[in-house]
Amino acid sequence: MSNDMAYHGKHRFPCFFYILLLICLSIGNLNAQPGRILLVGGGAEKNGQQSWSTPAYTWAGENRRIAVIGTSSGSLANYFLTQCGASIAREFVITSRDSANSQATYDTLVSYDVIFFRGGDQYNYYRYYKDTKMLEAVIQVYNNGGTICGTSAGMHILSQVIFTAKNGSAYPDECIENPGNPYVTLADDFLQFFPGFLFDTHFAERGRFGRLTGFLANYFFGKGLKITGIGMDDMTCMTIDETGLGTVYGTGCANFYLPGTDFKQNGTKLLTDSLKVVQLLHGCTYHFSTGEFGFTSLDQTIITGEMQETGNYTMFASGSDLLSDNTGMLAGLVQRAGKPSDPILLLSGDPEITAGFRQKLLELGSGPTEMFTPGADLGTDTSLRRAITEAVKILFLRNSLQDIAAFLETPNGALLNSRLHSDGMISAFAGDNARFAGKTVVDNYLTEYASWYGEMDFLPGLSLLRHTVIMPNTYLTSDIYENTVTAVPYAMLKDTLRYGIWLTDHSYLKYAPVEGIAVLTGYGTAPVMVVANSGIKGGFSSHTSTGSTSVDPRMVAGFENLTLTLTDETNPYRMGRVAPSGEDAPDILSGWLVYPNPSTERITVSGPLSSFRWEITGMEGRVLMQGMSPWQKATFSITDFSPSCYILKVFRETGEAVYHTVVIRN
């Protein structure tokens, strides 16, 4: 009996122990709760309760014990104490695996409520902290309901897939030309707070939308998986609470990149058809549990879905002013548009530079070339008038916007505008002058910090692409990365545009009708980057770094739904249907339409006035015909006119001239 009792007693104790263990584990799970996250795109924290950083940092650290971790120390601990109401804040400098993997480090860190990874070199974080007790402490703090934060490099390491920067920084132009370049080093074995996400920082400041796209493609090519990218602008952050609700704070955007169709490559060049981009401004939200966006501060309605490019002509535009970067476009102008023997009119503000372009055109087999410098002083020049009238191909390079704008106000300028929009015309715009071909011209973009200080200008362009803004010199120098990147969506919202185009020094585009379709084709070792507005909500950044309203906010716009396409000759981009015979050809400054132009019989003019007076004069100024329209449109016969060029002028009832252009009688 005693043996039986001994036998049963021997087994009763383990059973009781297992039950007790299960109860303890259950109680432990009941007490555990998911923590919170603060993602920060980098940039110096600012004092004051209305600054970009203080509200979010206070959310993370008020009345809490904060451990700031990095490979160097700084003033973050003091900022948390003096500005954000932390109870304790301490800097930890951890510069080796031994230190990161010590039990003392673990025991110390788990006593804190908040762990904040500062900026620095994320590869040091990856190689020092991976698979260490320090990371175990981070996970433990999070599982106990604590808050994990990261800024700049510290934010990079919080996503599941991280850019380790093992070989140094990766630049955006390199990533779109080859997403498999040796600087794109990714890993997914560090932390697992955000499965299926990859983070990037200093997003607008360093022009990193091309880089993030390259990262997503690299992971897709390597793992066959589509992941979501978040690019956080500097001085911008997102708080993510226990439920997964993220809220944006600061001066810029949290940029979400949501893959659509598969990434592709032509050689090493990156291509994609439909990468969805959502740009969230201060106050907007994203729920990481449900995938739902909230667009509180996108307070503008911008409807562009019906906008199409319709021009029945061919247009080239390149991203660089250098002759060495334009040989491909010049070959296209000579050999893939019209006849190689067609003469070319060069309009240039720099005759010395133009000499090299002329020589290259002749080497490529072009017809004769003439060069003029457009400006107000040549507004009635007969030689230039003849050259414009006879032009089959026109090349713009090194012209200032001010000179072009002044020239367009003259009779010869009006003639040029009309010829550029005429059926079958062929034009090309090199480098900086590529801006002129769109509806909106971004000016002052070559000035460092112009976007940050709200100093870029947005002026009327030639509207060869009348629903588009074109940005050349993208990634020219790091000083203007932010200008070139932010100007495009900002102009799209400001001027209600459907499309934005970025060109680098290694890309150029050709716009041309193909079987009635308006097609954009990219060429070069880099893809042409096209963004389209596919939603109806947008907004401008209004929060400054300090919260002051006495200074202008940075020129950043947010959108609920953009679609980014990287395109080339193997993947042409459709922009609309072509309108033949010059119909619907727009005026570049005032919204008036004149069609068909040129014409042999009748001309129609229509515009925004409910009634207007019009007159047609010869180039010498003599009035040949005039009339009054009680409606927004007038049609008149020009069959009695000799083949030549004529000036059409439109006046308000008060006599104020509001529009003039050149009518050509074939």
Question: Which whole number is the average pLDDT over 128-138?
Answer: 98
DSSP single-letter state for residue 368: -
With a cut of 70, say whether residue 243 has pLDDT above it.
Answer: yes
With a cut of 50, say whether residue 12 has pLDDT above it.
Answer: no
Between 646 and 55, whose confidence is greater? 55
Going by pLDDT thresholds of 50, 70 and 90, the confidence category of residue 592 is: confident
Instruction: Tell the CATH topology of 314-529+565-581.
Output: Rossmann fold (3.40.50)
- Burial zone of 582 (CB within 10 Å; 0-12 exposed, 13-18 middle, 19+ buried): buried
Backbone angles phi, psi at 63, to 5 degrees: 60, 25
In the structure encoding, which two tokens stand for residue 134, read together? 């320090």
Q: Which helix (H) or strand (E) holds 335?
A: helix 327-335
Domain borders along the chain are 1-30, 32-155, 314-529+565-581, 590-665
Cα distance between residue 79 and residue 53, in whole Å: 10
User: Of 375, 364, 355, 366, whose CA–CA distance to 394 is shortest?
Assistant: 366
Q: Is-contact 586 463, C-beta < 8 A?
A: yes
How many percent of the chain have pLDDT more than 70?
Answer: 93
pLDDT at 416: 96
Cα distance between residue 525 and residue 318, in whole Å: 12
Question: Which whole number is the average pLDDT over 243-264?
Answer: 95
Q: State the distance between the two ends of the chain, measured CA to CA, in whole angstroms.
A: 123
Chain segment 560-585, per-residue pLDDT in tens: 999 999 999 998 999 999 976 444 43
Residues 269, 273, 276, 277: what is their CA dihedral angle, to the nearest 10 degrees?
Answer: 40
Question: Which whole number is the average pLDDT over 155-182?
Answer: 98
Cα distance between residue 150 and residue 135, in whole Å: 14
Chain segment 78-95, per-residue pLDDT in tens: 999 999 999 999 999 999
Q: What is the DSSP string of 460-504?
A: E---SEEEEEEE-STTS-GGGHHHHHHHHHHHHHHTT-SEEEE--
Q: Is-contact 132 160, C-beta < 8 A?
A: no
Cα distance between residue 443 and residue 440, in whole Å: 9
With a cut of 60, say whether residue 206 has pLDDT above it.
Answer: yes
Question: Which whole number is the average pLDDT over 616-636?
Answer: 84
pLDDT at 7: 32
Task: Count how many Cα atoms sit within 13 Å of the Cα of residue 420 in the half-sphere of its side chain.
Answer: 30
**Angle at CA 404, nearest 5°, toward 401 and 409?**
130
Residue whose tokens read 């066959």: 224
Q: Is-contact 433 396, C-beta < 8 A?
A: yes
Three-class secondary structure of residue 410 per DSSP: coil
DSSP single-letter state for residue 297: T
Q: Identical fold at 314-529+565-581 and 590-665?
A: no
Question: Which whole number is the average pLDDT over 457-470?
Answer: 96
DSSP single-letter state for residue 552: P
Question: Which whole number is the average pLDDT over 350-363?
Answer: 96
Cα distance between residue 335 and residue 342, in whole Å: 10
How many percent of the chain have pLDDT more than 90?
Answer: 79
With a cut of 60, say whether residue 536 has pLDDT above it.
Answer: yes
pLDDT at 622: 83
Three-class secondary structure of residue 593 per DSSP: strand
Question: Which whole number is the average pLDDT over 120-129?
Answer: 97
pLDDT at 604: 87
Which parts of 342-480 fold into alpha helices (H)?
A: 351-363, 382-390, 401-408, 411-420
Q: Is-contact 298 539, C-beta < 8 A?
A: yes
Between 182 and 19, whose confidence is greater? 182
Cα distance between residue 271 and residue 57, in whole Å: 39
Going by pLDDT thresholds of 50, 70 and 90, the confidence category of residue 603 is: confident
Q: What is the DSSP string of 236-284?
A: EEEEE-TTSEEEEEESS-EEEEE--SPPEEETTEEEEEEEEEEEE-TT-
Which parts of 62-132 fold into alpha helices (H)?
A: 76-83, 97-100, 103-109, 122-129
Sign of the CA dihedral running 421, 424, 430, 434: positive
Question: Which whole number is the average pLDDT over 504-515?
Answer: 96
Strand-pair partners of 594: 605
Lowest-confidence region among 13-17, 151-155, 185-189, 303-307: 13-17
pLDDT at 666: 67
pLDDT at 336: 94
Cα distance between residue 129 and residue 482, in whole Å: 32
pLDDT at 305: 85
With a cut of 50, say whether residue 354 has pLDDT above it.
Answer: yes
Question: Which whole number is the average pLDDT over 47-51?
Answer: 96
With a cut of 80, say whether residue 5 has pLDDT above it.
Answer: no
Q: What is the mean pLDDT of the chain?
A: 91
User: Of 660, 583, 666, whose CA–CA distance to 615 is shortest?
Assistant: 660
**Angle at CA 162, nearest 5°, toward 160 and 74?**
110
Backbone angles phi, psi at 39, to 5 degrees: -105, 125
pLDDT at 617: 87
Cα distance between residue 45 and residue 545, in whole Å: 9
Chain segment 287-320, per-residue pLDDT in tens: 999 999 999 999 999 989 889 999 999 999 999 9
Cα distance between residue 72 and residue 56, in whole Å: 23
With a cut of 50, say whether residue 146 has pLDDT above it.
Answer: yes
Cα distance between residue 86 and residue 436, in whole Å: 53
Q: Is-contact 497 533, C-beta < 8 A?
A: yes
* Size (the chain), residues: 666
The amino acid sitting at 20 is L
With a cut of 70, say whether residue 548 has pLDDT above it.
Answer: yes
Beta strands 264-266 and 269-280: pairing type?
A: antiparallel
DSSP single-letter state for residue 18: H
Question: Which whole number is the average pLDDT over 539-544?
Answer: 97
Question: Which whole number is the average pLDDT over 241-265?
Answer: 95
**Angle at CA 564, nearest 5°, toward 400 and 479?**
45
Q: Is-contact 400 375, C-beta < 8 A?
A: no
With a cut of 80, say whether residue 25 has pLDDT above it.
Answer: no
Instruction: Tell the CATH topology of 590-665.
Output: Immunoglobulin-like (2.60.40)
The amino acid sitting at 498 is R
Chain segment 399-454, per-residue pLDDT in tens: 999 999 999 999 999 999 999 999 999 999 999 999 999 999 999 999 999 999 99
In the structure encoding, which two tokens stand for residue 242, read together? 């226990």
pTM of the predicted protein model: 0.84
pLDDT at 16: 37
Chain segment 363-407, per-residue pLDDT in tens: 999 999 999 999 999 999 999 999 999 999 999 999 999 999 999
Q: Is-contact 212 229, C-beta < 8 A?
A: yes
Q: What is the CATH number of domain 32-155?
A: 3.40.50.880
